[in-house]
Amino acid sequence: MQQKSVQIQKNIVETAVASGEFNTLVEAVKAAGLVETLSSPGPFTVFAPNDAAFSKVSKETLDSLMKDKAKLADVLKYHVISGKHMASDVAKMKSLKTLQGSDLSVDTSKGVKINDVNVIKADIVCSNGVCHVIDSVLIPK
């Protein structure tokens, strides 16, 4: 009798670590003390900047954020919304309320943009939500 392998989904943080393309994001989540939050049942939708997205942020800005836990947490929470929203759900919305408290705008006229930032890979399903990879870091105003 053949045994079926059961795929156990990883949570958002475990998924980011396992992918290897979110090293800066994982480091920032740890520095901001948000690992526990993003490992909790959620569900959450994360617009996750990959390492290439973080490389667009100046070293000075990134270094200063990493030293300011409250501001870093604000920036990271600006990438997270409550609930599990697949790309097809997001595409029907005009704006999204972030955990940080501000809104993100959604533009689907040319692909999917969140505040002028492109979603480059959508619907990475995790045990506690979903991640959509974005090509730039979202900075709250």
Question: Over the stretch 74-129, which tens digit does the pLDDT of each residue have?
Answer: 999 999 999 999 999 999 999 999 999 999 999 999 889 999 999 999 999 999 99
For residue 41, give the CATH number of its domain. Answer: 2.30.180.10
7 domain-assigned = no
With the CA atoms of 93, 133, 130 and 65 taken in that order, what torsion angle do they form, in degrees rounded to the nearest 10? -100
Residue 6's pLDDT is what?
A: 59
42 has pLDDT over 70: yes
How buried is 79 (Cβ within 10 angstroms: 0-12 exposed, 13-18 middle, 19+ buried)? Answer: buried
60 domain-assigned = yes
2 domain-assigned = no
CA 112/CA 33 separation, integer angstroms: 30
83 domain-assigned = yes
Domain span at residue 21?
12-134
Q: 54 falls in which pLDDT band (50, 70, 90)?
A: very high
**Residue of 42, 25, 16 whose CA lies nearest to 127:** 42
CA 43/CA 98 separation, integer angstroms: 13
5 domain-assigned = no
Count of domains for the chain:
1
1 domain-assigned = no
103 domain-assigned = yes
- Strand order across the beta sheet in which 44-49 lies: 80-82, 44-49, 129-134, 117-126, 113-114, 103-107, 95-97
